[in-house]
Amino acid sequence: MKKIRYGMVGGGQGAFIGAVHRHAMALDAMYAFTAGALSSEPARAQASGRELGLEDSRNYPSWEAMLEGELKLPESERIQMVSIVTPNHVHHPVAKAFAAAGFHVVCDKPLVLNMEQAQDLLETVKKSGVVFGVTHNYTGYPMVRHAREMVRTGTLGEIRKVVVEYCQGWLATKLEDTDHKQAAWRSDPARSGIVGAVGDIGTHADNLLHAVTGLEIEALCADLTSFVPGRVLDDDANMLLRFKGGAKGVLHCSQIQTGSENDLRLRVHGSLGSISWRQEEPNALEFLPLEGPRQILTRGSAYLCAAAQKASRLPSGHPEAFIEAFANVYVGVAESINARLENRALKPLEGDFPTLEDGVRGVRFIEKTVESAKSAQKWTTF
């Protein structure tokens, strides 16, 4: 199988998530890193590209240059996909420009800064018909896919309650005042948008609960706080959720829970059983049936659903983790791109990745959260 040629926007020296995307794409040898505009600063962009072995001619000083340069190349050499791993405010212009020009797109989350941008992007992509993935990477974990299957097949019965939490502690001090690139842009409204923690991790929590349960939020009541003195955006958020159909939920996320690392946890409670999953121990999924003992399902086991099996590379007990889950998102995107290239429909289980619509849902979630929090924490309907 031929590798898909990709270009990357963002992800140069000092970035964290860009390297993760590259590891994820390298893992299964489905992608070739071909071009890049790796920083908004031209010099840093090109130094980064050299370090990573990009050819000079494909190592662009800016994303605009990359777009222009690649379009000049014959289709057989041109990159086929662009991976956007910049701070949030850059997502919309880059995604729009490349999608409009016919490039497939993978964009980090939160998708864009507001619903206006989201609608605009939806229309652009609808017109151009490109494949568009959003790296809500946590849904790439095999056990999350099995959790989704347990809900879909009714193993849990009617879903009544969902508790999702995303606990981090790395912003418990004013890290943005030090020379910390990640902290700096995330706490800057000009680059992060109208939210801090809610956009950075709350949207992951929202996406995870939706991906697993399929539930749609009907209304929410949110309380946002900026605990660290001098911080403008929220570093903590607590929410009550009401879903269409009557289920209820709690979502809380924070970046000031001292000592927490990346503790994303989902619990889904149905009339026949519950499940519990923690991102920090991703190879296990706890299943608590109405009767009988609690069960620990493990990745790589023969009893898992086909989607979970497909998303695994190793036998049980040989743990897989963050990069492998991230790679699964890219596998789904690659399958979709390859189906286009081969002019065929997706095969069963192919193309399993978070879509543009998932990204848009996240933007709406952000706006509704802020609307609720600003209006003296009234319930806000969707």
Binding to its own copies, residues 197-256 (CB under 8 A): 221, 223, 225, 227, 236, 238-240, 242, 248-250, 252, 254, 256
Q: Is 161 in the site for its own copies (CB under 8 A)?
A: yes
Q: Is 181 in the site for its own copies (CB under 8 A)?
A: no
Grouping H, G, I as helix, E, B as strand and the rest as coil, residue 152 is: helix
Strands 263-270 and 159-167: antiparallel
Q: Is 316 in the site for its own copies (CB under 8 A)?
A: yes
Distant-in-sequence, close-in-space partners of 303: CB < 8 Å, separation ≥ 6:
297
Q: Which stretch binds its own copies (CB under 8 A): 191-199, 259-267, 334-342, 356-364?
A: 259-267
Tokens linked to 168:
């981090």
> Cβ of 341: how many Cβ atoms within 10 Å?
11
- CA distance linking residue 365 with residue 199, whole number of Å: 9
Strands 217-225 and 248-254: unpaired
Whichever of 125 and 241 has its CB closer to its own copies, that residue is 241
State in angstroms the smallest separation of the CB of 122 from its own copies: 30
Whichever of 120 and 218 has its CB closer to its own copies, that residue is 218
Looking at residues 51 to 110 of the shown chain, list those that interact with its own copies (rule: CB under 8 A): 52-53
Tokens linked to 370:
């802020």
Distant-in-sequence, close-in-space partners of 275: CB < 8 Å, separation ≥ 6:
147, 150, 156, 266, 267, 268, 285, 286, 287, 288
Looking at residues 275 to 304 of the shown chain, list those that interact with its own copies (rule: CB under 8 A): 279-283, 287-298, 300-303
Q: Which stretch binds its own copies (CB under 8 A): 170-178, 193-201, 348-356, 361-369?
A: 170-178
Whichever of 53 and 74 has its CB closer to its own copies, that residue is 53
- Burial, 356: exposed, middle or buried (Cβ in 10 Å; 0-12, 13-18, 19+)? buried
Interface residue with its own copies, options 9, 130, 151, 163 (CB under 8 A) = 163
H/E element holding 6? strand 4-9
Q: Is 1 in the site for its own copies (CB under 8 A)?
A: yes
Q: How many residues bind its own copies (CB under 8 A)?
A: 91
Tokens linked to 293:
């003992």
Interface residue with its own copies, options 21, 22, 136, 361 (CB under 8 A) = 22
State in angstroms the smallest separation of the CB of 245 from its own copies: 12
